[in-house]
Amino acid sequence: MYNDYVALTYHASLLADEYRVRAFQTAIESVVRPGDVVADIGCGTGILTLFACRAGARHVYAIDDGPIIELAKLILRQNGYAEQVTCIDRPSHQAALPEPVDVIVSETIGNYGAEERIVPTLWDACRRWLKPEGRVIPRALELYCAPVTWPEPEPALTVWRQPVCGFDVSPGVPFAISQQYARRLRPEHLLAEGQCYSRLLLTPEALAGPAPPKVTGTAVFQVNRPAVMHGVGGWFRAALTASVGITTDPAGSQTSWGHLCLPIAEPIRVETGDEVAISLTSVGGGSLLRWEVTWRGAGGATRIFRHSDFEGWLATPERLRPLAEDAAPGLSSKGQAQLFSLTKLDAGWTIGQVARGLHERFADQFPTLEDALVYVKGQALKFARS
């Protein structure tokens, strides 16, 4: 229930972002031609699918992995397009379309541009689905960064550095400084003019290689005022078509996107003219980041900060031990309960039968039959054949 609430609230913010919605509307209306077949990857509530239908698409494949696609079906039906759209409830890399498409559109664009894996997503979709003369929205993505002072005091970082009721909680510091934070940046938070560190062409030609383009780059800055540098800020510019674009530049209007904020281990005092070099590399198609920040002061002092949000995972040696290649960890009681429920569902047991079995065999996890029913229904929602 809570996850559905989060999804609904998030997608409401996207629909309410008129700047975002109008830009994609204009782009789709200029690219989609009558009779086209369109794939909308990450369709959400289906608003881009609706634009494609109204622009004359013969058929649209609306693809999303999650319960929001159920709302998309209702909205499409409400607007009279249900017969014109096939909704596919799975990640696009697992989806198979019955025909090639003329246009692929995707708004899987994150706060800094790449963290929702738009690059490998479009690379895969273009190779498998797109016609030779097909078109892609967006056609390019530029990723920007700058050294920043934090927009506001950040309890998620500072709380670990001071005692709490007399107790030392500093073991949380290494994990907290290795996280991505979504915050709102304004021009006064930037310690130098933003620079593009990675330009990504998303045209079919650019995505025709044997692997997705790498998301990596370095930019060097001259600090423009004395301040305390807390880390790196990131944002994007996307070219939806040759003439339509969107940006989350901190100097522009507020959008449904936030900005990327990456901390460094220690805030550092910088002066006008100091040099800051920032290197950013996306891992896992964009979902993970490595960042290196090198500060060089006017007097010759140098500090280097290296971070990765993989290190922000609470990966203690005990937690990592079962992941070794030679490990044979077996299943915990929780894993055994999930295996039992999925195996029995696949064997044709009813929801009630599986719930009673769980309650009997795993009473420590499901002390009441109602607890077991709630769990089994959740498993069925995730994994049952549609």
Task: Please report the pLDDT score of residue 4 as a whole number.
Answer: 76
Global pTM value = 0.87
* Residue 217 contacts residue 198 (beta carbons within 8 Å): yes
User: What is the predicted pLDDT for the residue at 2?
Assistant: 54
**Tokens representing residue 324 in the block:** 């070794």
- Report the candidate in 322, 305, 317 with the shortest Cα–Cα distance to residue 264: 305
The 3-state DSSP composition of the chain as helix, strand, coil percent (nearest 5) reads 35, 30, 35
SS3 (DSSP) at 222:
strand
Task: Identify whether the C-beta of residue 191 lies closer than 8 Å to the C-beta of residue 223.
Answer: yes
**CATH node for 141-319:** 2.70.160.11
Compute, in degrees rounded to 10, the torsion defined by CA atoms 238, 242, 244, 246. Answer: 10
Domain range summary for the chain, segments of one domain joined by +: 2-107, 141-319, 333-383
Element (H, E) at 49: helix 47-54
**Cα distance from N-terminal residue to C-terminal residue, the chain:** 20
Instruction: Pick out the chain residues at pLDDT < 70.
Output: 1-2, 315, 386
Query: What is the phi/psi pair of residue 370, to 5°?
Result: -65, -40
Name the nearest CA neighbour of 270 among 198, 216, 325, 221.
221
Q: Which of 139, 73, 66, 76 is nearest to 103 (CA)?
A: 139
Where are any strands of DSSP class E within 172-312?
Answer: 181-183, 195-201, 216-222, 227-239, 245-247, 259-270, 275-283, 288-296, 302-308
Taking only the tens place, the pLDDT of each residue in 272-310 is: 999 999 999 998 778 789 999 999 998 889 999 999 988
d(CA 122, CA 272): 41
| Helix ranges, 133-233 (H) | 155-158, 173-176
> Phi, psi at residue 288, to the nearest 5°?
-120, 155
Q: What is the model's pLDDT at position 1?
A: 56
Strand 288-296 relative to strand 216-222, pairing: unpaired
Complete edge-to-edge strand list for the sheet that includes strand 275-283: 216-222, 275-283, 288-296, 302-308
Strand partners, 86: 61
Residue 294 CB neighbour total at 10 angstroms = 16
pLDDT per position as a tens digit, 34-68 = 999 999 999 999 999 999 999 999 999 999 988 89
Whole-number Cα distances in Å, 9 to 4, 187, 374: 8, 28, 23
- Residue pair 148/154 in contact (Cβ under 8 Å)? The answer is no
pLDDT for 321 equals: 77
Please confirm whether the linkage preceding 98 is cis (ω < 30° from 0): no
**146-151-195 Cα angle (round to 5):** 10
* Separation of alpha carbons 103 and 128, rounded Å: 13
pLDDT attached to residue 324: 80
Neighbouring residues of 188: CB distance < 8 A, sequence distance ≥ 6:
none
For the sheet with 59-64, list strands across it. Answer: 85-89, 59-64, 37-41, 101-106, 130-137
- Please state which CATH number belongs to domain 2-107: 3.40.50.150
